[in-house]
Amino acid sequence: MSKPIVATTALASCFGCHMSFLDIDDRILQLIDLVDFNKSPIDDIKTFTKKCDIGIIEGGVANSENYHVLKEFRKNCKILISLGECAIMGGLPAMRNNKDSIESCLKEAYQDSPSTINKNNILPNDEELPMILDKVYPCHEVVKIDYFLPGCAPRADLIWDALVALLNGKEIDPEYKTYKFD
């Protein structure tokens, strides 16, 4: 019997949730017995090569690339999990959400800050760059998300317990100590 396939990605985030994922210590050996990975930084597969059972999303949706990746995940994964505060509520990147406008954010970052040297006063506009969204969106405000594992970063035990539960067709019932928003 083939193993369930897991895909993971990091959108607008710090990769901390992935680090925490790796923090399951020696259980990572069991994990390899339990699942195969497809598109994920863990195996460095860049695009989906097959349909997956579980997609794990770290980070919120801050730009057009995040949006495309998230849509791909929704298309290719049966179950999607928002992992960590950024995926769940925008997190640190979303601290720009209550600022006046994108323009003022960009100006602050690239023109007006005391440490900036930007002789031509250009706001980043290269065609290769993803386009920045008006705010950082929690993933579930863009596509349907099935499960949410909070934390900044989520505790390794929480990620492990949740994955094991899902793989065994059980409800996720997190332990109190592992279920935190920070």
Partner 1 sequence: MEKTVNNIITHHANDKKRLMDMLLNIQEQFNYIPDDAIDILVEKLDLPKVHILETISFYHFLTLKYTGKYTIYLNDSVSAYMNGRKEVAKAFEEEIGIKFNSVTNDGLIGLFDTSCIGMSDQEPSALINNKVFTNLSPEKVKEIVKNMKDGKDINNLMKANLGDGKNSHKLIHSMVNNNIHIKKAILSDDYIPGSALLKIIEQERMEVVNEIENAELRGRGGAGFPTDLKWKFTAKTPEGKRYIFCNADEGEPGTFKDRVILTEKPELIFEGMAICGYAIDSDEGILYLRHEYKYLKKYLENILDKMRKRNLLGKNILGQDGFNFDIRIQLGGGAYVCGEETALLESTEGNRGEPRYKPPFPAVKGYLDRPTVINNVETLCSVVKILNKGNYWFKKMGTEESRGTKLLSISGDCEKLGIYEVEWGITITEMLHMAGASNVQAVQIGGPSGNCISQDEFENQIRYSDLGTGGSIVIIGNKRDLLKDIVLNYTNFFIEESCGSCVPCRNLIVIYRNTLQKIINGKGVQADLDNMLEWEKVMKMNRCGLGQTSFHPIVTTLKNFPKLYESKILEDSDIISTFDINSAIKEYCNATGRKPNIEE
Partner 2 sequence: MKKKFKILIDGKELSVKHGQTILEVASNNGIYIPTLCNYVNLEPQASCRVCSVKVNGRPMTACTTTVRPKMEIENDTKEMNELRKIIIETMFITGNHFCPSCEKSGNCELQALAYRLKMDVPQFSYSFSNKDIDASNPKLMIDHNRCIKCKRCARGIKTDDGKDIFAFKNRGKKIMISIDNELAKNISDEKAQEAMDICPVGAILKKERGFIDPIGTRKYDNKPIGSDIEKLMEVRS
**Interface with partner 1, residue 120, by CB under 8 A:** no
d(CA 152, CA 24): 16
**Interface with partner 1, residue 168, by CB under 8 A:** no
Unique residue bearing structure tokens 């210590």:
25
Number of residues counted as binding partner 1 (CB under 8 A): 24
Choice between 48 and 147, CB closer to partner 2: 147
**Interface with partner 1, residue 43, by CB under 8 A:** no
Q: Which of 6, 88, 156, 163 binds partner 2 (CB under 8 A)?
A: 88
CA distances from 49 to 40, 62, 85, 108 (A): 11, 25, 28, 41
d(CA 160, CA 145): 19
Q: Which helix (H) or strand (E) element contains residue 9?
A: strand 5-10
- Burial level of 92, CB count in 10 A (0-12/13-18/19+)? middle
CB of 101 to partner 2, least distance (A): 12
> Please, what sign has the CA dihedral across residues 61, 159, 153, 91?
positive
Which partner in partner 2, partner 1, none is near 106 (CB below 5 to 8 A by kind)? partner 1
**Interface with partner 2, residue 95, by CB under 8 A:** yes
Which partner in partner 1, partner 2, none is near 102 (CB below 5 to 8 A by kind)? partner 1
d(CA 182, CA 153): 7
Q: Which residues bind partner 1 (CB under 8 A)?
A: 64, 67, 71, 74-75, 101-103, 106, 123-125, 127, 131-135, 137, 140-144
Q: Which residues bind partner 2 (CB under 8 A)?
A: 82, 85, 88-92, 94-95, 97-99, 135, 138, 140-141, 147-150, 152, 176-177, 179-182
